[in-house]
Chains A and B, each alone.
Chain A
Amino acid sequence: MLARPRSRGVSEATVKMCSLLRGEEMCLAQLFLQSGSAYDCISELGELGLVEFRDLNPNVNSFQRKHVNEIKKCEEMERILGYLLREIKKADISLPDRDVNPVTPLPKHVITIMEQLQRLEVELGEVTRNKEKLQKNLLELTEYTHMLRITRSFVQRSAEREHLEAQYEEFPFLEKDAMMDYSSMQRLGAKLGFISGLIQRVKIEAFERMLWRVCKGYTILSYAEVEEYLEDPDTGEPMQSVVFLISYWGDQIGQKVKKICDCYHCHLYPYPSSNEERNDVVEGLRTRIQDLHTVLHRTEDYLKQVLIKASESVYTWVIQVKKMKAIYYILNQCSFDVTNKCLIAEVWCPVNDIPTLRRALEEGSRKSGATVPSFVNRLPTTDTPPTLIRTNKFTSGFQNIVDAYGVGTYREVNPAPFTIITFPFLFAVMFGDLGHGAIMFLSAAWMVLYENNRKLKNTRNEIWNTFFEGRYIILMMGLFSIYTGLIYNDCFSKSLNIFGSGWSVRAMFENNVWDSSVISGNGVLTLDPNITGVFKGPYPLGIDPIWNLASNRLTFLNSYKMKMSVILGIIHMSFGVVLSTFNHLHFRKKYNLYLVFLPELLFMLCLFGYLVFMILYKWLFFTVKDSRHAPSILIQFINMFLMQSDTMQPLYPGQAGLQVFLLVIALLSVPVLLLGKPVYLYWLQNGSHRLGMYRGYERVRRNSEEELYLMRAHDMEEGSSLSDFSTSGEHNTEEFNFADEFLHQAIHTIEYCLGCVSNTASYLRLWALSLAHAQLSEVLWAMVMRIGLRMDTSLGVLFLVPVFGLFAVLTVSILLVMEGLSAFLHALRLHWVEFQNKFYSGTGVKFCPFSFSLLPSSFEHDGLL
């Protein structure tokens, strides 16, 4: 059942070498796990992160799965852990170091964890409730104290009133309406009653009015505001209250007053009837408040102790519960075999890791003490496996930006290793400034040097994380920008004169072309390189620094940068076309080499490769003396297509004939590209009846399952499916395939040919962005730095300090961040569209192994951890 080791060894060696170029070879494997050791085996696999599990029960509802109860228990534990974490966060306790990696608990240990958590929850709940009750009590007593203090001032006033009323005891207030229905006997026998309490300040006027209307003057209301904000015992929020004292006659009035107080949510407190009682109550309140404060402190301390003790192990529990839940989730995806004693799981596994997988299963079986070991069995399959490309911390950034467009199809050429160099280079062509590149390089170097600093790694800030993940990309971009800054000779918009300029102004004077009258008479003068001594030879590295002082600098640089962009674009695109040969060869479709790759390459090189040749020829063979009569390359190129060669002076002898020849080749390659592949495949189908039967005979002969499996696996590796050579040749399907194939190829041809032109023009953005960057840099210097440098006054030197600060801030924000992101985006687009559409299909699925370290945690998402 297992493949023969010899052939696997050979394929292993070759596969190991091209991991980043092509992606790992994957296989579908079946794991036979004994029921007793399934848990431990899956735990081992989770620690290693080797394989991706397939769901064998896709039609089963999540509530009908086998281990739904265990998952519910795990979620209950997670709920309690969430509550714990929230309480810990509220109490401002910091969690200890998070480097531990506890092992998965066995099912029998789960009960202890569950009990501990439940106990903690109950205890915490009780203590919190007690604390709240105590606090409410404290607030009420505080209100009572305030009330007593304030009503003391009323006592004097109402004492006076009592005196007055004592005189008129038989007669109630003179203000009272005489037309009352109350009998005077009732009034005479009524006692004076008091109701006191607190009410919210906003309600006091309405309260007073209501009292007056209802009780019709049988009550007296006195009130005073409490100066400080008291906390409401019910809600705990600060509010402004008013202390009131109502004196009334008669029980019925008393009932009415009480009801009104209820309606207005007053807090009523008993009113002491005499001064001695008042003093006693005040004393009692004071001691009670003190006691309550002590008890509250103790309760808070105890709560904090409980939380601190819990915080020591809460992180361990979180990880243990997470691991357990993941294992049960995976167990739910397995199915039982016929004997119901063994679990079957299907996994995608890299072929190179099968020995490790076996060892992990043995380890799991050993840990669980099972007698029968679990084992692995490779399955042949026609499903496309997911794509796995192993990366390290340097290559992972570049692989991510390639995957962002599309994960590669299984075993297709991966553009990432080439992107490591071409992406920073194209970025640098657009960014091209030595000073800015140096700053970018240094900031990336700081991030790389401190990459193991835990604080930097674990921040929650999304934008910072994006920049931190791409620190190696930024490092390369900065390094390459320093190089292109040297070539463009641009450092904060100033040129560096390292080698000495190749132009000499003195020679214009020595040859008597200029003298002082010429200088005073003209605003702009032209250095003529045809005069001996003016141009001494090209600058050794990059653009001559004298161009920084020239007024026709942009004219010169534009021509240079545009031609450079076209050259770089054609090279990049041709490289993309050449990369497609890797795919054609790997998937054993050799006919693609002759029918697709060759016409594509010929079309591109005969037309645009020739353009590059013309540019280089003109640069190399036309000197200063011919510069007035040099032909324009663009006009020549257009004339090539129009086949008009006699109107202009040729670039080189024999140009007309060569151009016609190249044009004919390019035009001939279009129909080959359009029709070659569909016609060839059609001929292959029709002429392959005999071939098919021959293969069928071979199949009948090899009746050992092993060899059949080998043959199928071999075919699967090569990427050709058996259906290509099937004997069941229904002509309908073949005809349909031909039309499909032809349409596909027609679209590809049109896309490619038109794309050649448009993509070449698209590379001109390399020129456009580098021009924009240079101009922005120059404007920033002219408008900010120059003002500071030109200051003439004696205090001017101090003005330079803030000016430089402003220059630095604007450089970083506009030129580094904004222009950097812009150039990054355009370089990325050039890769994704212009480069990758020559060879990359990107329709694969990414391999997501089952690994505990990769599982997301909902607590981290909520910011609790």
Chain B
Amino acid sequence: MRGLICGPKLAACGIVLSMWGVIMLGMLGIFFTTHSAVLIEDVPLKDEDLTPDPNPPQRIYELYNKVGYNCFIAAAIYILFGAFSCCQMKLNKQKEYLVH
């Protein structure tokens, strides 16, 4: 069977992990781009960012947006990973139905 790399259990774990990753990273991305205050500690602040800003929240907002886009890209990578796991699962199911 060409292309069969993982067994059925590993493929199932991959599917579950990527579903969780897509949902959670997607929501994290949304919360970062809407500048949620609870996530302030997860934004990469440097000391100069805390000095008074002529345009008060914009710098912080830009940082928020950057992390948000990072999360979206990671969610997209997890979609690919999920598709790969689905393929492996289908190949495994095909192998099961072959006569042995």
Chain A residues with CB under 8 Å of chain B are: 439, 492, 494-495, 497, 545, 548-549, 782, 785-786, 789-792, 796-798, 800-801, 804-805, 808
**With A497-B38, A549-B37, A789-B67 in contact, is A801–B44 under 8 Å at CB?**
no
- B38, A545: Cβ atoms under 8 Å? yes
- Among the listed B38, B41, B70, which residue makes an inter-chain contact with A495, where contact means beta carbons less than 8 Å apart? B38
Contact B74 A800 (CB under 8 A): yes
Majority SS of interface residues in chain A? helix
Contact of A797 among B24, B37, B38, B74 (CB under 8 A): B74
- State how many angstroms separate the Cβ of A439 from the closest Cβ of chain B: 8
Pair A494/B38 contact, Cβ less than 8 Å: yes
A801–B74 CB distance below 8 A:
yes
Q: Which residues of B contact A790 (CB under 8 A)?
A: 42-44, 67
Are B38 and A804 interface neighbours, CB within 8 A? no
Q: Is the CB of A494 within 8 A of B39?
A: yes
Does B10 belong to the interface (CB within 8 Å)?
no
Q: A789-B67, A804-B24 are in contact. Are A549 and B40 (CB under 8 A)?
A: yes
Question: B44 contacts which of A497, A545, A548, A792 (Cβ < 8 Å)?
Answer: A792
Interface of B is mostly: helix
How far is B70's CA from A786's CA once the two chains are assembled, in angstroms?
13
Residues in B lying within 8 Å of A, measured CB to CB: 17, 20-21, 24-25, 28, 36-44, 67, 70-71, 73-74, 77-78, 81
Question: Contact between A808 and B17 (Cβ–Cβ < 8 Å)?
Answer: yes
Question: In the complex, what distance in Å separates the CA atom of A439 from the CA atom of B25?
Answer: 15
Contact A549/B42 with A805-B21, A808-B21 known, Cβ cut-off 8 Å? no
Report the minimal beta-carbon distance from A808 to chain B, rounded to whole angstroms. Answer: 6
Question: Are B71 and A800 closer than 8 Å at their CB atoms?
Answer: yes
A494–B42 Cα gap in the complex (Å)?
11
Interchain residue pairs with CB less than 8 A apart (7): A439-B20, A789-B67, A792-B44, A797-B73, A797-B74, A804-B78, A808-B20
Q: Does the CB pair B21–A804 fall under 8 Å?
A: yes
CA distance A801 to B39 in the complex (A): 19
Bound-complex Cα distance A545 to B37 (A): 10
Which residues of the other chain, B, contact A549 by a CB distance below 8 angstroms?
37-38, 40
Neighbouring A residues of B21 by C-beta, 8 Å: 801, 804-805, 808
Q: Which of A439, A497, A785 contacts B36 (CB 8 A)?
A: A497
Q: Could you tell me the distance in whole angstroms from the C-beta of A171 to the nearest C-beta in chain B?
A: 71
Residues in chain A near residue B71, CB distance under 8 A: 789, 800
B38 and A789 form a contact (CB under 8 A): no
* B residues near A796, Cβ cutoff 8 Å: 70
The answer to whether B44 and A791 touch across the interface, beta carbons within 8 angstroms, is: yes
Given the complex, which residues of A lie within 8 Å of B41, measured CB to CB?
782, 786
Closest to B39 in A: A494
Which residues does chain A contribute within 8 Å of B78, judged by CB atoms?
Answer: 801, 804
Query: B74–A804 contact, CB under 8 A?
Result: yes
Q: How far is the CA of A548 from the CA of B36 in the complex (A)?
A: 12
Give the shortest distance, in Å, between B2 (CB) and chain A (any CB). Answer: 25
A494 CB contacts on chain B under 8 angstroms: 38-39
In chain A, what residue has the closest Cβ to B69?
Answer: A797
Q: Which residues of A contact B28 (CB under 8 A)?
A: 789
Whole-angstrom distance from the CB of B81 to the nearest CB of chain A? 8
Closest to A796 in B: B70
Contact B42 A797 (CB under 8 A): no
Q: Which residues of B contact A439 (CB under 8 A)?
A: 20
Residue of B nearest to A520 (CB): B52
Top 10 A-B pairs, shortest CB-CB distance = A800-B74, A790-B44, A789-B42, A797-B70, A797-B73, A801-B77, A792-B44, A801-B74, A786-B42, A494-B38
A363 to B91 alpha-carbon distance, docked (Å)? 53
Question: Chain B residues with Cβ under 8 A from A791's Cβ?
Answer: 44, 70
Given the complex, which residues of A lie within 8 Å of B37, measured CB to CB?
497, 549
Given contacts A796-B70, A805-B17, A805-B21, 7 further A-B contacts (CB under 8 A): A439-B20, A549-B40, A786-B42, A797-B73, A801-B21, A804-B25, A808-B20
Contacts of A545 in B (CB 8 A): 38
Whether A789 pairs with B40 at a CB distance below 8 angstroms is no
CB distance from A560 to the nearest CB of B (A): 19
From residue A447, how far is it (CB to closest CB) to chain B in Å?
13
Q: Would you give the shortest CB distance from B16 to chain A, in whole angstroms?
A: 9
Separation in Å of the A547 CB from the closest CB of chain B? 10
Residue of B nearest to A782 (CB): B41
Contacts of B42 in A (CB 8 A): 785-786, 789-790
Question: Which residues of chain B come closer than 8 Å to A497, judged between CB atoms?
Answer: 36-38
Chain A residues whose CB sits within 8 angstroms of the CB of B70 once the complex forms: 789, 791, 796-797, 800
For the complex, give the distance between the alpha carbons of A808 and B20 in Å. 8
Nearest neighbor of A787 in chain B, beta-carbon distance: B42
**Chain B nearest CB: distance from A845 CB in Å?**
42
A805: B residues at CB distance < 8 A: 17, 21
Give Cα distance in the complex from A792 to B24, angstroms. 21
A443's nearest neighbour on chain B, judged by CB, is B16
Nearest chain-A residue to B31 (Cβ)?
A494
A642 to chain B, nearest CB (A): 46
> In the complex, what distance in Å separates the CA atom of A805 from the CA atom of B22?
11
Instruction: Report the bound CA distance from A494 to B28 in whole Å.
Output: 11
Nearest CB of B to A796, in Å = 7
A492 to B39, CA, bound (A): 12
A548 near B24 (CB under 8 angstroms)? no
Q: Kindly provide the distance from the CB of A795 to the nearest chain B CB, expressed in whole angstroms.
A: 11
Set of chain A residues within 8 Å of B36, measured between Cβ atoms? 497
Rounded to whole Å, the gap between the CB of B89 and the closest CB of chain A is 15
Q: How far is the CB of A475 from chain B (nearest CB, A)?
A: 17
User: Which partner residue on chain B sits nearest A811 by CB separation?
Assistant: B20
Residues on A with beta carbons closer than 8 Å to the beta carbon of B20: 439, 808
In the bound complex, residues from chain B placing their C-beta under 8 Å from that of A797 are 70, 73-74
- Do the beta carbons of A798 and B77 come within 8 Å of each other? yes
Chain B nearest Cβ from A23, distance in angstroms: 41
Report A-chain residues with C-beta under 8 Å of the C-beta of B67.
789-790
Q: How far is the CB of B82 from chain A (nearest CB, A)?
A: 12
A497, A545, A801, A808, most chain B CB atoms within 10 A: A801
Q: Nearest A residue to B45 by beta-carbon distance?
A: A790
Q: How many whole Å from A609's CB to the nearest CB in chain B?
A: 39
CA distance A548 to B44 in the complex (A): 19
Residue of B nearest to A489 (CB): B38
> Could you tell me the distance between the alpha carbons of A497 and B40 in the complex, rounded to whole angstroms?
14
Q: A545 vs B39: C-alpha distance in the bound complex, in angstroms?
A: 12
Q: What's the least CB distance linking A659 to chain B, in Å? A: 44
Q: Which residues of A contact B39 (CB under 8 A)?
A: 494
- Can you name the residue of chain B whose Cβ is closest to the Cβ of A548? B38
Question: Nearest Cβ distance between residue A505 and chain B, in whole angstroms?
Answer: 10
Q: Which residue of A lies closest to B71 (CB)?
A: A800
A67 to B17, CA, bound (A): 59
> Which of B17, B21, B24, B74 counts the most chain A CB atoms within 10 A?
B74
Nearest to A516 among chain B residues (CB) is B52
Closest Cβ of chain B: how far from A786's Cβ, in Å? 5
**Docked CA distance A804–B71 (Å):** 10
- With both beta carbons as reference points, the residue of chain B lying nearest to A798 in the complex is identified as B77
Minimal beta-carbon separation of A93 from chain B (angstroms): 11
A154 to chain B, nearest CB (A): 48
The CA of A548 and the CA of B40, in the complex, are separated in Å by: 11
Within the assembled complex, what's the spacing in Å between the Cα atoms of A549 and B37?
Answer: 9
Whole-angstrom distance between the alpha carbons of A801 and B78 in the complex?
7
Which residue, A439, A789, A808, has most C-beta atoms of chain B within 10 A? Answer: A789
Chain A residues lying within 8 Å of B25, measured Cβ to Cβ, are 800, 804
Q: How far is the CB of A318 from chain B (nearest CB, A)?
A: 25
Q: Which chain A residue shows the least CB distance to B28?
A: A789
Name the residue of chain B whose CB is nearest to the CB of A446.
B16
A132 CA / B40 CA spacing, docked (Å): 76
Closest to B32 in A: A789
> Which residue on A lies nearest to B14, using beta carbons?
A805
Q: What are the residues of chain B within 8 A of A800 when measuring CB–CB?
A: 25, 70-71, 73-74
Smallest CB–CB gap between A554 and chain B, Å? Answer: 16
Distance to closest chain B CB from A27 (angstroms) = 51
Q: Give the complex CA separation of A789 and B69 in angstroms.
A: 11
